Chain A
Amino acid sequence: MEIPQTSIEAAAQLRAIRSLMERSTVYRAISAPAALVAGVVALGLSGWQWGREGMGGERFMVEWVVVLVVMSVLNVELLRRSAAGRGEPFVSAGMKLALRAIAPPMIGGFVLSAVAVWRGDGGVEAAGMWILFYGLGLLAAASFAPRSMKWLGRAFFGAGLVCCVGLPRVGGAGHVAAVGSMAVTFGMFHVVYAAAVFVASRASRAKTAGGA
């Protein structure tokens, strides 16, 4: 930040202050490319599970946990590259803050779903909990997340409530409900989120280029 001497420099100073403030208070915990890949993989896994009505809750859970682990590793790597590209530390204060907010709901959802499956409940119980607690995790970070992530959190939270109380639990209908809800939320919601972030960042770049 340079010392301003003219009103133009004062305006530039204000923009620099705003940019630094946003950088330190807004943290995007889910990179758009990772969300896109995760959405497509979730749709693929849902398609693969669609006709397998005989699969148990354990099998359902294991397959989704494998996807979760792979996608989490990809997300971390993309966030690391993105931070390096901006010349910022990977483990930033924003990341620590986001992890502290997101981790408890995520861990809670994972443990409760694992217990539900272990007790013999179907995949739809686990799916409902994952969707609901993932939404809660994103909403817990809402105070310092970009607007698109807040909307993603609200969408998951609403869908999670519907899944937990309004979907069939047993038999073929229960299986279809579990797989379908995972396809809509972890699949389509993530694809829409990635598309929204790409469109917004392109518009932002165009605006910056136009203003330069």
Chain B
Amino acid sequence: MIDFSQLDKTIHEKGRLAIMTLLAGRAEWAFQDLKAELGMSDGNLITHLRSLFKAGYVSETREMKHRPQTRYALTEAGREAFTRYLGILEAIVRQARE
């Protein structure tokens, strides 16, 4: 029996789920692009990214071009966690249909 308690609590938050969704669709995202796409404030986005980084779901690359830029990507653990999260949601929907 699959239920909502099996959903990963780290991903299972509106802002973090949106970040994970974007990161799952592309190799990496610059901080400014994530911010523009999600319409989040700097502080909010940094807090969520920090939580995902601590969980080992997101990697961070800092580089210096004409100005400092931080890029984010899903780690292997993050991709697996996101796939598992989607799998549970799908299983819940499938279970309800049967």
- A10→B17 contact, CB < 8 A: no
User: Can you offer 23 A-B residue contacts whose CB atoms are under 8 A?
Assistant: A1-B14, A3-B14, A4-B4, A7-B92, A10-B4, A10-B93, A10-B96, A11-B93, A13-B89, A14-B86, A14-B89, A14-B90, A14-B93, A17-B17, A17-B21, A20-B21, A21-B21, A21-B22, A24-B21, A24-B26, A92-B36, A93-B26, A96-B33
The answer, yes or no, to whether A25 is at the interface (CB within 8 Å) is yes
CB under 8 Å from chain A, chain B span 1-29: 4, 12-14, 17-18, 21-22, 24-26, 29
> Which listed residue, A2, A21, A88, touches B25 by the CB 8 Å rule?
A21
Please report whether the interface of chain A is mostly helix, strand, loop or mixed according to DSSP: helix
The answer, yes or no, to whether A104 is at the interface (CB within 8 Å) is no
- A1→B18 contact, CB < 8 A: yes
CA gap between A5 and B96 in the complex, in Å = 12
- Interface size for A (C-beta < 8 A) is 24
Give the chain B neighbours of A1 by CB distance below 8 A: 14, 17-18
CA gap between A100 and B70 in the complex, in Å = 19
CA gap between A7 and B95 in the complex, in Å = 8
Q: Which residue of A lies closest to B33 (CB)?
A: A93
The answer, yes or no, to whether A51 is at the interface (CB within 8 Å) is no
- B25→A5 contact, CB < 8 A: no
Give the chain A neighbours of B92 by CB distance below 8 A: 4, 7, 10
Given that A4-B89, A14-B89 are known contacts, is A92 also in contact with B14, CB under 8 Å in the complex?
no
Give the chain B neighbours of A24 by CB distance below 8 A: 21-22, 25-26, 37
CA gap between A88 and B33 in the complex, in Å = 12
- A residues apposed to B, CB below 8 Å: 1-8, 10-11, 13-14, 17, 20-21, 24-25, 88-89, 91-93, 96-97
Give the chain B neighbours of A3 by CB distance below 8 A: 12-14
6 nearest interchain CB pairs? A7-B96, A93-B33, A25-B25, A10-B92, A89-B36, A21-B25
Q: Which residue of A lies closest to B20 (CB)?
A: A17
Given that A7-B95, A20-B18 are known contacts, is A93 also in contact with B36, CB under 8 Å in the complex?
yes
CA gap between A24 and B34 in the complex, in Å = 10
Give the chain A neighbours of B90 by CB distance below 8 A: 14
